[in-house]
Structure 1
């Protein structure tokens, strides 16, 4: 039986996954060349296998559907002979972050697809990313590298929210209620993801030859550091410890590793992921001061991402996503 045409959602998700995984392949190949710890190397190889498989299988679908395969990223976007810029613990943390974001991306792809073969493809990669995340966490735990969320006392009774004071207490300059566990979770996770962003921006600023890209990466580093500090202050105010991160995750190498195109694209992906994380955290938080901060910081990321997009467009570094036909243009032909 003939398969129905791909929907706009399926074409869009296939394009997005192809672009992001072709980028991941180049990063993970460099990790594979520079990692020293054998156990962490196995995690990186597992991540690389998934990314390469995604590129190949999505490329095959493009051929079957007689669509133009995106240019994406290639070996021209990475220097595998460049000196080591990331430490092993940071590489492991990056793969953990990559697999977590991958699970969300594959889940959205699956949920917006209609054809069974496309859904099965996305479901398979969702499962593989879930397994990769477990391996990354187990490896980090075995080496004492995993950053655990804060510990709190266990609940011993059921309580109901009484009045709007529960929501408004965060706005009081005098007495704020303690953070609930859901709020703690989002603050903690956003500190971790901003730590990854800060380290990546530092490494990219350190190794690019472009003054424009260097300035943009420094700005990204400053934004990540500021956001991390704001979230940590919320935890400290509730007498909770802030997570230790990979302050030594970057070496002192200044040799160029990745193309400016790849570096800018990765920061764009991380910015979009950060906005999504903040939107989720804002919705889940029940203290208005948290909600206000997530929303205002999300706006800052949006402006940062917009400026990055303009840099990529000016330098012709970004491919145009598939889109609906321009009827006005067709009418005038």
Structure 2
């Protein structure tokens, strides 16, 4: 029974706090490693490390008050801060920009699934922190010329309504497809941008993983990210738009693991989930019929990759089980 002055937490709040604990303890390990190797962004990384500790402590307090077991998440045993640099110039900032995008979406969703006042406030605060990290990392990457802005287009001078049903036709074999609209460009651009970072992350993970099956899985992730970037990049090029690219953030030649296989597998699983959601969003908001089909095909590849990752994690005892609902069928069989 809860010893808190607040109402007991609901099953939804238990789930979202539990998932946040996993993600925040993972982020802490990355920050500990990057703080060791990046002297230029110490202030930025230290600020968000301190905030992650505060978030984890808040969740621990809630669980203790509720009499709930504290999750294990990821500990100091999952990071080797003395390992050589696995990624070169500005990758750490690129990585946290990507993770801030994931956090913003997750925590905003969790906020809208919360009922208790202190938990609503907590998710509101961590959403704002993730947005701040996105702003800071984007500013740094633009300032150093590491990332480029999406393409500019001519501003519309008048409003139009779609009158031709061919506007949605993208699967025809004869004749030209219409050029992309700005909504479609933005979703494709975002997918290419995130997979560029994901591909370098997978390359580094594949170089340092200890388990051979885990290493092979990361190689598949590397190839999948390249496939997504290439196929969606070709869609942009067909409309004479050059897809995003960067000269920075490459994996080094190090083969010494800064992170445990367990942590790297969890991070990959989180990115796969994010990729599935982004693909679904891209398909849903694309009005040219060939684009949802392409997103669906890529989504199937991402799902198969994520499923294989889950099986590897279970086999190695790395998948921490979320809190379960009571099994009433089992309880009534006494």
The answer to whether TM tops 0.5 is yes
1:29 aligns with 2:32: yes
By how many angstroms is 1:64 displaced? Answer: 1.5
Contact conserved, 2:80 with 2:257, CA < 8 A, in 1?
yes
C-alpha deviation, 1:88, in angstroms:
3.3
- Counterparts of 2:69 and 2:163, CA distance in 1: 58
Give the distance between the partners of 1:96 and 1:199, measured in 2 at CA: 14
* Stretches (4+) displaced over 3 A: 169-173
Distance in 2 between residues matched to 1:171 and 1:98, nearest whole Å:
38
Moved more, 137-146 or 251-260: 137-146
Asked if the contact 1:89/1:246 (under 8 Å) is kept, the reply is: no
* Matched residue, 2:87: 86
Unaligned runs of 5+ in 1: none
Distance 1:77 1:246, change over 3 A: farther
Give the distance between the partners of 1:174 and 1:44, measured in 2 at CA: 52
* TM-score, L = length of structure 2: 0.95
Matched, 1:159 2:167: no
Any idea what the Cα deviations from partners look like across 1:166-211, whole Å, max 9, x if unmatched?
1114544421101000100011100011112111111010001211
2:43 alignment partner in structure 1:
42
Provide the residue aligned with 1:316 in structure 2: 317
CA change 1:103–1:295 in 2 (3 A) is same
C-alpha contact 1:21 1:55 (8 A) present in aligned 2 = yes
Task: Work out which of the residue numbers 19, 22, 32 in structure 2 matches 1:16.
Answer: 19
Residues 1:256 and 2:257 are matched in the alignment: yes
Aligned length: 331
| Mapped contact 1:44–1:92 kept (Cα < 8 A) | no
Give me the CA root mean square deviation.
Answer: 1.4
The 1:44/1:147 distance shift into structure 2, 3 A limit, reads farther
Whether the 8 Å contact between 2:196 and 2:245 is mirrored in structure 1 is: no
Q: Cα distance 1:152–1:127, how it changes in 2: closer, same or farther (>3 A)?
A: same
Q: Which residue is 2:67 aligned to? A: 66
Aligned residues of 1:169 and 1:287 also touching (Cα < 8 A)? yes
* Secondary structure of 2:169 counterpart: helix
Cα-to-partner distance string for 1:225-246 (whole Å, 9 max, x where unaligned) = 0011011001000001111135
Q: How does 1:294-309 map to 2 (within 5 A)?
A: 294-309=295-310
Q: Write the distance in 1 (CA, Å) between the matches of 2:333 and 2:146.
A: 61
- For normalisation by structure 1, the TM-score amounts to 0.96
1:147 to partner: Cα distance: 2.9
1:15 & 1:309 partners in 2: Cα distance?
18
Contact 1:110 1:119 in 2 (8 A): yes
Offset of residue 247 of structure 1: 6.0
Taking a change above 3 Å as real, the CA distance of residues 48 and 189 of structure 1, as seen in their structure-2 partners, is: same
Q: Match for residue 5 of structure 1? A: 8
Q: Distance in 2 between matches of 1:89 and 1:282?
A: 31
In structure 1, distance between residues paired with 2:181 and 2:126: 33
Query: Following the alignment from structure 1 to structure 2, what is the Cα–Cα distance between the partners of residues 147 and 100?
Result: 17
1:188 alignment partner in structure 2:
189
Name the SS for the 1:226 alignment partner: helix
Change in Cα spacing, 1:138 to 1:12, as seen in structure 2 (3 Å) is same
For the 8 Å contact 1:35–1:88, the answer to whether it is kept is: no
The equivalent residue for 1:232 is: 233
User: Matched residue of 1:88: which SS?
Assistant: coil
